[in-house]
Structure 1
Amino acid sequence: MAKKKDTQTNMWTGRFASGMAQSMVDLSFSLQFDAELIEEDIEGSIGHGKGLVESGVLSKADYKKICDGLKSILDDYHAGKNLWCDSDEDIHMAVERVLTERIGALGKKIHTGRSRNDQVCTDFKLYMRHRAAEIRQLEIELMETVLDLSKKYFGKMMPGYTHLQQAQPIYFSHYLMSMFFAVSRDVKRLDNFLELHSQLPLGSGAMAGSAFPYHRALVAEALGFKDVSPNSIDAVSHRDMMLEFNADLAIIANTMSRYAEDFVNWSSSEFGYLTLHDAFSSGSSMMPQKKNPDSMELIRGKSGRMLGNFTALYTLAKGAPLSYSRDLQEDKEPVFDSVHNVKVILRVMKEALETARFNFETMHAKMLPALLATDLADLLVEAGVPFRDAHHIVGSLVGDAARAGKQFTELSDEAWAAAGVPDVAKMKKTLTFEYSVSKRNIEGGTGPKSVKQQFTKAAALIKKLKK
């Protein structure tokens, strides 16, 4: 419960003859959600104060007192102390109010040369950069898990699918490595994001720049930015950073959702390929036999929410006039929500994979001979048959077998010969699942040499991403 305090104490009320209506307070105050920015707000104010020292606005002794005050606020916040008042409009004004109460009038100097516009943009930018680095680490940890499992289960085969129909034999490791390389692109997107959005907004003021001789480059270095924003209107107006960040997070969720969809299917009795650990499953309140793959279903569901967050941000920003309008305050919650959810998604996927049981005997037992149809066509081509003719020959065999309720490999040698297959006995003997995968050692293929090459590339990539 927030402390009671007269709303007339707002720091901008000098212009106004009355306080806000309660309905306006309910509409506009944002402390209930933007308190999430407290660490970045205090970090930003400490960096800003360093610039004020260089500008002669603060003495070094004053700056130390301000820094100590700000750090004490953060310590108390983390300790669970109640710091806020009903009059605190947002985290930025709340921190400044508490600071002033603790160190006196000196606390009022911290906002010199700064607007809430460039303050908020800086805090939010720091938040997204910090969270991007954390999410990036979670993705690398998932990649390491996937690579370890791929190596552990190397040599195990399964049916590969297109259109949810059995298509060709593949190594299970090949399937898992597809996740590895997909996630690696998610990491690279975050790297691009961090490289592109590395300019400090502080010093831009409300929209025209600070009137003080503010050492922006010094503050940028203190806060971990590579450069300063070149245009003050651009710095406080545009929200392409949050759009890009939420788009990156939505793509991560989308990647996880597609694998979660497969794992939901694999967990069904119709497939039986995967048994999730009880810790990542749930039961039914009515049917005692049920073990549901809720972890994967929730990952799948969260991806839609993440897309919704991006759509909300895109809709918010597309009509906002330059430089700043209050509706841009609504840019925070969708980002916070996406950050929280993607971090949980990545942790759950990693832990669920580490503890899952993959039922390879079931996978192998369900591999249909039809998986070898493409291989027979390839053998016919090697025997001199044009590919289109080979495709037609094999297609006719598969069709005849389906009408007879058989697999095409169960048709008689005479039926194969009549369809145009030469040296039938040799062809049938050659057609095995092991043969099929062994023929696909092309770079990126499912062949054993290719998969081992993927392991080597993956290990090198992880090493590079960790630098």
Structure 2
Amino acid sequence: MLPTGRTGRTPQQHPRGVAGATPDGTCDQAVRAGRPGSGGPALLRHYRWIELTHIDEYVRMGLMGGRAAARIRRAVLDLTPEELHTGREAAGSDPLPALERSVQARLPEGAYAWHVDRSRNDVRACARLMLGRERLLETAAAVSGLARTALETAGGHTESIMPASSRPRTAQTITFGFYLAALAEAATDAAESFHSLFDAVNLCPLGAGAMAGLELPWDRARIALALGFDGPQPHALTSVASQAWALRSAAELSVLGTTLSRFLTDLIGWSGPGCRFVDLPGGTADDPMTAPQEGDGASLERIRDMARRLVGLSHDVMAGQHDTGYTDLAEVSGPGPGPTEDLFATCGATLALFDRAVAGMRFHPERAGRAVRGELTAFLTVANHLTLEHGVPAGISQAVVGSWISAATGGLGPAGAPTPDLLSAAGLVAAGERHGFVLAVEEDEVRELLDAEAGVRRKQTGGSTRPEEVRLLLEQVGERLAAVDVGAARRSGWLREAWEHTTGTKTGDPR
């Protein structure tokens, strides 16, 4: 009996993808080997899966007897990558022709109909989509791991104040936990997007033939379920020509790479010689990405370069189809999914290294607190206070504060740094008089307004840097991650069940 669908399945374990790849494995493949994976071995597994499904259909249509089908199934299952590599032009190339030759050499009597009414176009399109959906699950798992690491680190820094920059100058006081909550939220967004994309593209191309359909009564719905799809792709030409899953994956990975590069840029600055708010784990001898003598900034810059490369590789994937006719099937007739595999492998390595950096980082609250207390970050706080407590119109209150700061720091010169200790209640009163307002402001009142910790706690809106709000944000992201895990387990469990059903023992199979 075939599986009936994914909806409502109970997860049994956290998914790692049907192919069994992990972020560390992807990192090993993409970084230590010096090149991303080619996808050849993984494609072989999917070609086997497709071949076994075809055999079941031949039996169902009465074109092949049970005994012949069982012998072909055994031949398909017994094939090894090493055996198929013999005679192939290069490692990593598409193993489909070699698989066909190997099975052809072992065909039993009565298997005359093997591969009748079959095209390589829909087979290749199907196998590459099957590989792509596994890569989506693997990437979602890796980016969920980064989100969870950021979440755990953020929980210890909900009250660790630090400066946040707007252009070259510090503009606001935030907490490090607030910042990492943003990273956790962005990574969770990405994980949810990859799962949504999985659901959107999980329609089976098999049965489309070369592009216009097939002549035998293949049961496309049954085939789709056997291969772990939600159903058949309705249009035959779309099935083999679209490759939209690759384009949409590239778009999602490009967005992720851009987002990660921005967070990395912040961390590079904060770990640099001008700040040193953050220390990150140094390189190790067995990690060629970072040498032990390199500083934090250098290792983070290398990770940022990898994140930037995601944008370029995404463009390469899209450019491969640009200006290509929809009926020009070179995309599915080519040697393999190289550009897309490069993209996923680079993303996996980037996420693995970034995750390790976040997990091993050390934040120095005393350095960051000292830096933010020496900056003027309370411009709007004082202006709001003048309006709400002293009746100064909002537009004028900002002009008063600007005049106050200019008068206090005017003699510093271009190299001078304006600091809160230069500001006084008397100066604010004088600035108010210049704008026609008499202000009764005490020195203690000014010091409270300029206090960095008080400024963080003064925030009232949801999603702000106020410690209580940050803890609520972290709780909400944690709930979303738990839902991501449930969805991931459901999807990977569905694929695993479909694979086990297709490869399991059938009536007539030799023991």
Is 1:168 the counterpart of 2:172? The answer is: yes
Percentage of pairs with the same residue = 22
Which deviates more, 179-188 or 303-312?
303-312
Per the alignment, residue 394 of structure 2 pairs with 387
TM-score by length of 1: 0.85
Equivalent of 2:473 in 454, 457, 467: 454
Structure 1 alignment gaps of length 5 or more:
1-30
Deviations 1:136-194 (A, max 9, x none): 11111111111111112221111112224211111111000001111122112212211
Corresponding position of 1:423: 441
Name the CA distance, whole Å, in 2 between partners of 1:251 and 1:110. 44
Q: 5 Å matches for 1:1-400?
A: 34=40, 36-73=42-79, 76-77=80-81, 83-86=85-88, 90-103=94-107, 110-279=114-283, 290-327=294-331, 329=334, 332-367=337-372, 368-383=374-389, 384-400=391-407
Query: Which amino acid letter does the alignment assign opposite residue 308 of structure 1?
Result: G
Structure 1 distance, partners of 2:201, 2:330, is 23
User: Using the alignment, how far apart are the partners of 2:110 and 2:156 within structure 1?
Assistant: 62
Q: Distance in 2 between matches of 1:60 and 1:41?
A: 21
**Partner SS state of residue 164, structure 2:** strand
Answering whether residue 422 of structure 2 is matched by residue 410 of structure 1, we say yes
Point out the more displaced range, 319-328 or 175-184.
Answer: 319-328
Q: Cα distance, 1:393 vs. partner?
A: 1.3
Q: Answer yes or no: is the 8 Å Cα contact 2:282–2:296 preserved in 1.
A: no
Distance across 1 between alignment mates of 2:289 and 2:248: 38
**Which residue identity is paired with 1:416?**
L
Answer whether contact 1:266 1:273 (CA < 8 A) is retained: yes
Secondary structure of the corresponding residue to residue 342 of structure 1: helix
Query: Using the alignment, how far apart are the partners of 1:245 and 1:356 within structure 2?
Result: 30
Q: CA deviation at 1:356?
A: 1.5
Range with greater deviation from structure 2 (413-422 or 400-409): 400-409
Shift of 1:423: 1.2
Distance 1:308 1:324, change over 3 A: same
The amino acid that maps onto 1:211 is: E
| Residue aligned with 1:114, SS | coil
Q: Which amino acid aligns with 2:147?
A: M
Supply the distance in 2 between the matched residues of 1:59 and 1:331 (Cα, whole angstroms). 33
- Judge conservation of contact 1:243–1:314 (CA < 8 Å) in 2: yes
- CA gap of 1:306–1:290, structure 2 versus 1, over 3 A, is closer
The structural deviation recorded for 1:42 is: 1.8
SS of match in other structure, 2:170: strand
Structure 2 equivalent of residue 24 of structure 1: none
TM-superposed CA distance for 1:457, in Å, is 0.8
Q: Give me the whole-angstrom Cα distance separating, in 2, the residues matched to 1:242 and 1:387.
A: 52
Contact kept? 1:170, 1:437, Cα under 8 Å: yes
Q: 1:87 to 1:108 in 2, by over 3 A?
A: farther
Partners of 2:281 and 2:296 within 8 A in 1: no
CA positional deviation for 1:123: 0.5
- Aligned equivalents of 2:204, 2:290: Cα separation in 1: 52
The 1:109/1:396 distance shift into structure 2, 3 A limit, reads farther
CA apart distance, 1:412: 3.8
CA contact (8 A) 1:166 1:371 kept: yes
1:453–1:370 distance in 2 versus 1, CA, 3 Å: same
Residues 342-377 of structure 1: per-residue CA shift (max 9 Å, x gap): 111111111111112112211111113401222111
**Structure number with higher helix proportion:** 1
8 Å Cα contact 2:172-2:377 kept in structure 1: yes
Shift of 1:32: 7.2
User: How far apart are the structure 2 equivalents of 1:321 and 1:107?
Assistant: 37
Q: Which of these residues, 455, 458, 465, is aligned with residue 436 of structure 1? A: 455
Task: Tell me how far 1:71 sits from its aligned partner.
Answer: 2.3
Distance 1:140 1:105, change over 3 A: farther
Structure 1 residue 33: deviation in Å?
6.5
What count of residue pairs does the alignment treat as equivalent? 431
Equivalent pair of 2:424/2:443 in contact (CA under 8 Å): no
CA distance in structure 1 between the partners assigned to 2:238 and 2:474 by the alignment = 44
Q: Note the C-alpha offset of 1:113.
A: 2.7
Contact 1:158 1:172 in 2 (8 A): yes
Residues 63-113 of structure 1, C-alpha deviation per residue, up to 9 Å, x if partnerless?
Answer: 33233222222xx32xx5673314697321111112233456788855333
Please tell me whether the aligned partners of residues 369 and 407 of structure 1 are also in contact (alpha carbons under 8 angstroms): yes
CA RMSD of aligned residues (A): 2.6
Report the alpha carbon displacement of residue 43 of structure 1 after superposing the two structures with TM: 2.0
Q: Distance in 1 between matches of 2:211 and 2:288?
A: 52
Which range moved further: 395-404 or 375-384?
395-404
- Distance (Å, rounded) in 2 between the aligned partners of 1:258 and 1:201: 38
Q: Secondary structure at the match of 1:111?
A: coil
Amino acid at match of 1:85: G
Q: Who is 2:496 aligned against?
A: none
After superposition, the Cα gap between the structure-2 partners of 1:61 and 1:321, relative to the gap in structure 1 and judged at 3 Å, is same
Is the 1:159–1:363 contact (alpha carbons within 8 Å) kept by the matching residues of 2? yes
**Secondary structure at 1:438 match in 2:** helix
Counterpart for residue 10 of structure 1: none
Residue identity opposite 1:84 in structure 2: T
**Do the aligned residues in 2 keep the contact of 1:183 with 1:255 (CA within 8 Å)?**
no
Is the partner of 1:200 in helix, strand or coil? coil
Distance verdict in 2 for CA 1:33–1:438, change over 3 Å = closer
How far has the Cα of 1:223 moved from its partner? 0.8
Are the counterparts in 1 of residues 279 and 363 from structure 2 also a CA contact under 8 Å? Answer: yes
In structure 2, give the amino acid aligned to 1:271: C
